[in-house]
Chain A
Amino acid sequence: KAGVTQTPRYLIKTRGQQVTLSCSPISGHRSVSWYQQTPGQGLQFLFEYFSETQRNKGNFPGRFSGRQFSNSRSEMNVSTLELGDSALYLCASSSGLEGHGYTFGSGTRLTVV
């Protein structure tokens, strides 16, 4: 069974630009969560989507947004990039079954210059 696929793997953007990251969850998983990982702050929850609806949201500014499509694929968008947005962005899908936890993708490494 294919894992969680994130594209692109690496991205370099200029301050002020916007970026869109993509995530395809494990087939059958309807919940997709996004996390930002940095050395200074660790793993920070961005938002969670389930059946095309944002179900939970973390404490990030409105520049961070996302959506989920009917096939459960998800995208997250960051507008007006800042240097501090440089991070590893991880997508995680979940079956919702007890004891199964998250399956993370390999992440997108975003560098803002």
Chain B
Amino acid sequence: GQQVMQIPQYQHVQEGEDFTTYCNSSTTLSNIQWYKQRPGGHPVFLIQLVKSGEVKKQKRLTFQFGEAKKNSSLHITATQTTDVGTYFCAGSSGGSYIPTFGRGTSLIVHP
């Protein structure tokens, strides 16, 4: 079945440093979604990418979808303590619109 791998599992940064998490799929994706889960919270939808090579920005967050639609990345510029949480990618492929979630990257920001 479809597998979505996400790296790294954990990332410690000093406040102000940049952060990137990477997502790779074993199959070509029709779309990819990104979610953020704060400690003790639930996943919150951030964005969906659909087109090959697509790049979208939300303030300090930049999301990219690879040309082959098999990988994606989330980059945060100048991290803040409010960015703490686990970031999940979730990809859908084939005839299924049910997304498969990656294991997530937990971001820890040190003030």
Contacts and interface: CB of A to CB of B under 8 A. Distances in A.
19 contacts: A35-B101, A42-B102, A42-B103, A42-B104, A43-B43, A43-B88, A45-B100, A48-B98, A56-B96, A98-B48, A99-B48, A101-B33, A101-B35, A101-B45, A101-B47, A102-B35, A102-B43, A102-B99, A103-B45
Interface of B: 33, 35, 41-45, 47-48, 50, 88, 90, 96, 98-104
A56 B100 CA distance: 13
A25 interface: no
B102 A90 contact: no
Interface stretch (A11-19, A71-79, A104-112): A104-112
Contact of A101 (B41, B42, B48, B96): B48
Interface string A71-99: 00000000000000000001000000011
B44 A104 contact: yes
Contacts, number: 44
Contacts of A24: none
Given A33-B98, A45-B98, A90 B48 contact: no
A1 interface: no
Chain A: interface size category? 10 to 19
B32 to A, nearest CB: 11
Contacts of A33: 98
B45 A100 contact: yes
Contacts of A99: 48, 50
Nearest to B104: A42
Contacts of B42: 90, 104-107
B43 A56 contact: no
Nearest to A6: B42
A41 B88 CA distance: 13
B56 to A, nearest CB: 10
Identify the interface centre among A33, A35, A43: most chain B CB within 10 Å of its CB: A43
A107 B42 CA distance: 7
Contacts of B41: 106
Interface in A12-50: 33, 35, 42-43, 45, 48
